Amino acid sequence: MAAHAECGQASYYGPGLHGGVTANGERFDQYAMTAAHPYQRLNSYVNVTHNGKTIRVKISDRGPYTGGRVLDLSYGAFAALASPSSGVINVCIAKS
């Protein structure tokens, strides 16, 4: 596994945005394994780790727009790592 490039807090987005257009031009599917990141290349993949569990997500959008967060995960990607009721989790991101 690649060295972690970035660690911090992540939240999720989805409800209310499902079906909208993302920064890469695709329709946002809140159940897909995607994420929003401020500078990772669009359409690239990163590994996101939380509490020893790692998932692979596609960077399809820009964000997060809430201060102090390093990543916004789609609802489905967040749910693969933690209960959505957690709201915010600590993650580490590494290029895939």
Tens of pLDDT, residue by residue, the chain (96 residues): 455 589 999 999 877 787 788 989 999 999 999 999 999 999 999 999 999 999 999 999 999 988 889 999 999 999 999 999 999 999 999 998
- What is the per-residue pLDDT for 96? 84
Is residue 22 a part of any domain in this protein? yes
User: Which phi and psi angles does 76 have, rounded to 5°?
Assistant: -65, -40
Domain for residue 39, yes or no? yes
- Maximum Cα interatomic distance, the chain, rounded to a whole number of Å: 35
Q: What is the pLDDT of residue 1?
A: 45
Enclosing domain of residue 32: 6-95
Domain count across the chain: 1
Q: Is 87 exposed, middle or buried (0-12, 13-18, 19+ CB in 10 A)?
A: exposed
Residue 38 lies in a domain: yes
Give the CATH number of the domain where residue 81 resides: 2.40.40.10
Q: Cis (ω within 30 of 0) for the bond into 64?
A: yes
Residue 1 belongs to a domain: no
